Amino acid sequence: MGEILEINGPIVTVHLPGVLNGAQVSIGALDLIGEVIGLDGERAVVQVYESTESLRPGEKVEPLGHPLVAELGPGLLGQIFDGVQRPLASIFERSGAYLVRGLNLSPLDRQKTWTFAPAPDHKPGQRLEGGEVLGTVQETPSFVHRILVPPDLGGELLELAPAGDYTVDQVIARIRDRTGSPSELRLYHRWPVRTPRPYRRREAVGIPLITGQRILDTFFPLLKGGKAAIPGPFGAGKTMVQQQIARWSDADIVIYVGCGERGNELVDILETFPTLTDPYSGRPLMERTLLVANTSNMPVVAREASIYVGVTMGEYFRDQGYDVVVVADSTSRWAEALREVAGRLGQMPVEEGHPAYLASRLAAFYERAGCVETLAGKHGSVTLIGAVSPPGGDFSEPVTSHTKDIVQTFWALSKSLADMRHYPAVDWTASFSAYVGAAAPWWAVHADPNWAERRTKALELLTEADELAHVVNLVGPEALSPEQRWVLESAGLIREGVLQQSALDPVDSFCSPQKQFVLLDLILEIHRRGTRLLTLGVPVQQLLNIPLLGHAKRLKTGYGNDQIEALRQFATEIQNTFERFLQDYAQPPPASSAVTDGEQKP
């Protein structure tokens, strides 16, 4: 037992002999929870997850004997937690719309029972290693929750409970651990959130994460187990892009961490997600989703902890053999929490006031992504996607620049594109993906062998059109050659017919990989055939007036993902249209008289 010595906002200095760095403590009469982040003899520096108003020096401080941990077990899916994994629905039932300080509730429902099915091959006397599967619980109609031996625990199995209904607190197994002591296992276990969960080895897998967003999947792909960033200024659509990824990505589990974002944006998520249907299973989307909501008006220290809580839950589902996507919105707000705490601790500020360890903290977070072989021999992945909010859209500021050096996929959002109502406002000149080569074999098998070639050609057209646009702004379109005007038109078709995508249109919100390739291939076919006609002397204005060009821009919404064959029929119409032009201009000139050696010959 100790006492408060000094209070500085969320930072409290206490006298607490023997406490360990990283341990959680209970502070004051309200039993506020905090975490020890510094030691100086018998004095400890504690960051408190809630407001410290009304605290005063001399109040009691009591160590809890463990670090900040996440409870991991059945009942996580479909829930909404705050930054330290308190269930907001249960808090609302207790205290209404406003958070009451000191209200510490269990993340998992202690009363609900789950039907446990033990693994049939486990027998008493058998040795179990950490991470092995004890049995399963059918958590939702579409999701099987695998109950794991805690990664740091293993030993001889003494007893395994029979099939039946159990609460998360009931014992389902007993083992003799490595020290020879008996240990009880339940449907859940705890894990410190700042410690990455162990695995057997990392794997190099070239399976892309399909988000249903054409500019992301086709042009700047992200692999399962990869790491990506979505930087962009205010109003560029970062939250909408992340919501689209959370809705439509082909992951088994999606964890959305709202870290310091505005409350109205998270409210939109909470109202929208329960009404959505998973395009892969046909079941409600919330059956594979959980949310961590820590808005900008919530305690700043809990904001710093929230992304660790989210990625720890992601690693837990990864260890069960699932593919998980963790979306953090945004890491800039998390970095601001680091900066505020560092300032109150009196640490030396460096880049724009951020602490010197900003880059290492970012790298440590993103390194928890990966595709791995789990301790149980299964294969799972955690894909990390973080939004970045650079002030004024300055991508050279510290959080964005450090993140750019760490991630392999960079989806840069443009305010100018957003102002033109071009959504998603992903800037194809500033974005990049280091996974293109690894993703190409998958696209060759599941879409078309020519995927990489088409993607490269489209980016070349877009880049050339951007350069020509500067010329047009200076001297006007009349200075361009017919071929250059056709390049501008073709790039416009790519932008409007492929890159733009409406999140509000039920047909266009999600686009399958097969439809993505067909749409791009159609536009490039128009460009190729038009270029050929220009070489035969067809006036460019005649090509620009072809009605099917306007039709090509509307193909994305006119045909669903199950109408690929109808799109291919439109490709035939494109061929026929251009063939008629070709026949008209490829005919030999009519026979005429010729004069040779002064004589007229027929």
Q: What percent of the chain is predicted at pLDDT more than 70?
A: 96
Q: Which of 435, 470, 487 is the last residue of a domain?
A: 435
Write down the pLDDT at residue 593. 44
The answer to whether residue 191 scores a pLDDT higher than 60 is: yes
Please tell me whether residues 136 and 232 are part of one structural domain.
Answer: no
Write down the pLDDT at residue 417. 95
Q: Which of 126, 156, 190 is the last residue of a domain?
A: 190
Mean local confidence (pLDDT), 372-380: 94
Residue 156 in any domain: the answer is yes
Write down the pLDDT at residue 504. 87
Please tell me whether residues 172 and 239 are part of one structural domain.
Answer: no
Mean local confidence (pLDDT), 407-433: 95
Write down the pLDDT at residue 267. 73
Please tell me whether residues 397 and 304 are part of one structural domain.
Answer: yes
Please tell me whether residues 429 and 478 are part of one structural domain.
Answer: no
47: part of which helix (H) or strand (E)?
Answer: strand 43-48
Write down the pLDDT at residue 50. 87
Cα distance between residue 41 and residue 133, in whole Å: 43
Residue 269 in any domain: the answer is yes
12: part of which helix (H) or strand (E)?
Answer: strand 11-15
Mean local confidence (pLDDT), 574-583: 82
Sign of dihedral through CA atoms 555, 557, 558, 564? positive
Please tell me whether residues 209 and 350 are part of one structural domain.
Answer: yes
Please tell me whether residues 184 and 206 are part of one structural domain.
Answer: no
Number of domains in the chain: 4
The answer to whether residue 557 scores a pLDDT higher than 90 is: no
Q: What are phi and psi of 289, to 5 degrees?
A: -130, 145
Please tell me whether residues 223 and 251 are part of one structural domain.
Answer: yes
Please tell me whether residues 153 and 211 are part of one structural domain.
Answer: no
Write down the pLDDT at residue 588. 57
Residue 407 in any domain: the answer is yes
Residue 558 in any domain: the answer is yes
Cα distance between residue 2 and residue 259, in whole Å: 32
Residue 440 in any domain: the answer is no
The CATH number of the domain where 553 resides is what?
A: 1.10.1140.10
The answer to whether residue 595 scores a pLDDT higher than 50 is: no
Matching residue, tokens 């310091």: 260
Query: In this predicted model, what pLDDT tens digit does every residue of 30-69 receive, in sequence order?
Result: 999 999 999 999 999 999 988 898 899 999 999 999 999 9
Write down the pLDDT at residue 143. 92
Write down the pLDDT at residue 478. 81
The CATH number of the domain where 184 resides is what?
A: 2.40.50.100
Please tell me whether residues 128 and 217 are part of one structural domain.
Answer: no
Q: Give the orientation angle of helix 358-366 with respect to helix 331-344, to 10 degrees.
A: 140
The CATH number of the domain where 356 resides is what?
A: 3.40.50.300
Write down the pLDDT at residue 256. 92
Q: What is the span of the domain harbouring residue 297?
A: 202-435
Please tell me whether residues 428 and 283 are part of one structural domain.
Answer: yes
Least confident among 76-80, 99-103, 111-115, 411-415: 99-103
The answer to whether residue 199 scores a pLDDT higher than 90 is: yes
Please tell me whether residues 253 and 350 are part of one structural domain.
Answer: yes
Are the C-beta atoms of residues 306 and 374 closer than 8 Å to each other?
no
Mean local confidence (pLDDT), 319-327: 97
Looking at residue 282, what DSSP letter applies? S
Query: In this predicted model, what pLDDT tens digit does every residue of 260-317 receive, in sequence order?
Result: 777 666 777 777 777 787 877 888 888 899 999 887 777 788 888 999 999 999 999 9
Is the preceding omega at residue 401 within 30 degrees of 0, hence cis?
no
Residue 586 confidence class, pLDDT cut points 50, 70, 90: low
Residue 97 in any domain: the answer is no
Please tell me whether residues 50 and 122 are part of one structural domain.
Answer: no
Residue 14 in any domain: the answer is yes
The answer to whether residue 602 scores a pLDDT higher than 60 is: no
Residue 520 in any domain: the answer is yes
Q: Long-range contacts: 560-565, Cβ < 8 Å, 24+?
A: 560/507, 561/510, 561/511, 561/512, 561/514, 561/515, 564/514, 564/515, 564/518
Write down the pLDDT at residue 590. 56
Q: Which of 435, 459, 475 is the last residue of a domain?
A: 435
Neighbours of 210 (CB within 10 A): 23
Query: In this predicted model, what pLDDT tens digit does every residue of 217-233 receive, in sequence order?
Result: 999 999 999 999 999 99
Which has more pLDDT, 239 or 501? 501
Mean confidence (pLDDT) of the chain: 90
